[in-house]
Amino acid sequence: MPDYKGIQGTAVQNFAADPPAPVTGQVWYNSTTGQFKYQDTIPAGAWATGGSLNTARSQLAGAGTQTAALAFGGNDGSVTAVNESYNGTTWTELGDLNTARRGLAGTGTNTAALAFGGTTTIPAGPGMTGVNESWNGTTWTELGDLNTARQLLKNAGTNTAALAFGGETAAIIVGNTETWNGTSWTEVNDLTTVRTNLGGCGATNTAALAFGGQIPAGPTTTAATESWNGTSWTELNDLNTAREALAGAGINTAALAFGGLTTVNVANTETWNGTSWTEVNDLNLARKAMGSAGTNTSALGFGGGPPTQNATEEWNAPYSATETITLTT
């Protein structure tokens, strides 16, 4: 029978501590703990804690990836313009938004982001805004406003080709969809299910996904999912758990929906394969109104509440894990 050396070409190495960056399949002996260990890749996803935001807040927006993200605006007891950048380990404060606001949307990367909509006041009504700012990695610059000032809308795309959809004005919940070409916003076809405080994602302004939220009747939560093809929205299969104030990451064929509010804050996480949603491992902290970034295999959730939180969680599917080999005689 071939032994480990025969298969791998090396003997099992002896370490005083686990190696810092083992590769999948690597086997070693930890002489301190007296254990054989190996590095495995676990296909099912899971959430791990990440570095905490410097400013705990909810109703904030996010952009970027799991290891290069941006968190801006929000509600920390008052409306804030705070802007922080994440490097995969810690959050660092950068230049503030020009217009402090909460319930805004954001898209792009952590060096080229777009922040649009929201409300500048508490309570929300008087401060509904269509203000739109572009981030270049150093400062925010005001550009053309949304046509419909509103809060609790969602987003897709980049800072030169973005999509804004859903939300609520001071008067009503809307299904308005607007597309951004780097210069101005243009009204296009509305969502089929008018809603606010929804989840959304998408890498471009021609392919996006809208899911969950609050609909006017009741009002109540919805599980409805719609996909945007650049021209119109099409209804697809619902979320397993109807909720509002949920977060989203990914693209319209591979998305992640997490957290939110049913009648209580929930930790539910669902993954979308382009056809249906599947329940996967929950967040460690149930919460709503958090910021998000990343993809459905490598996502980031941060902030939220209540109570207002600074916690960050990192989703990876698959993820790499060190396992202990149990020897029996």
Partner 1 sequence: MTKTYQYCVAENWGKGFIDHNESSRITFKGLPGDVWQVPAYNKHANLWIQKVLGTPKTRAEAQAIVDGVITQAQATWDADNVANESAEQKVDRIGERPVLITLEE
Length reported for the chain: 329
CB of 141 to partner 1, least distance (A): 30
Complex with partner 1: residue 70 or 224, whichever CB lies closer:
70
DSSP state of 288: B
CB of residue 295 to partner 1, shortest distance in Å: 16
> DSSP assignment, residue 261?
B
From candidates 6, 307, 326, 328, binder to partner 1 by CB under 8 A:
307
Q: Please report whether residue 2 would count as binding partner 1 according to CB under 8 A.
A: no
Q: Which stretch binds partner 1 (CB under 8 A): 142-150, 167-175, 207-215, 300-308?
A: 300-308
Please select the residue that binds partner 1; options are 11, 172, 321, 325, rule is CB under 8 A.
321
Residues 87, 300: Cα–Cα separation, whole Å: 11
Applying CB under 8 A, the span of 18-26, 122-130, 175-183, 292-300 interacting with partner 1 comes to 122-130
CB of 267 to partner 1, least distance (A): 8
**Cα–Cα distance for residue pair 195/214, rounded to 1 Å:** 5
Q: Per the structure block, which two tokens stand in for 24? A: 């999948």
Matching residue, tokens 């249906």: 276
Question: Of residues 2, 6, 20, 123, which one binds partner 1 by CB under 8 A?
Answer: 123
What is the three-class DSSP state of 125? helix
Max Cα distance, the chain (Å): 76
The CA distance from 60 to 304, in Å, is: 8
Q: Does 118 bind partner 1 (CB under 8 A)?
A: no
Residue closest to 84 by CA, chosen among 291, 321, 324, 325: 291
Phi and psi at residue 210, to the nearest 5°: -120, 135
Cβ distance to partner 1 smaller for residue 26 or 322: 322
Q: Is 305 in the site for partner 1 (CB under 8 A)?
A: yes
Strand-pair category, 312-316 with 27-30: unpaired
> CA–CA separation, 165 vs 47, rounded Å?
28
Among 9-17, 109-117, 191-199, 317-325, the segment contacting partner 1 (CB under 8 A)? 317-325
Q: Which is nearer to partner 1, 44 or 217 (CB)?
A: 44
Q: What are the helix (H) ranges across 33-75?
A: none
Instruction: Please tell me whether residue 218 binds partner 1 under the rule CB under 8 A.
Output: no
Of these, 8, 11, 13, 42, which contacts partner 1 (CB under 8 A)?
42
Q: Contacts with partner 1: how many residues (CB under 8 A)?
A: 30
C-alpha to C-alpha distance for 118 and 131, rounded to whole angstroms: 8
Give the footprint of partner 1 on residues 47-86 (CB under 8 A): 47-52, 58, 77
DSSP 8-state class, residue 168: B
Residue (61 or 317) nearer to partner 1, CB: 317
Restricting to residues 141-180, name those near partner 1 by CB under 8 A. Answer: none
Lookup: tokens for 93? 């404060």
* Binding-site ranges for partner 1 (CB under 8 A): 42, 44, 46-52, 58, 77, 89-90, 122-124, 281-282, 284-286, 305-307, 311-312, 316, 319, 321-322
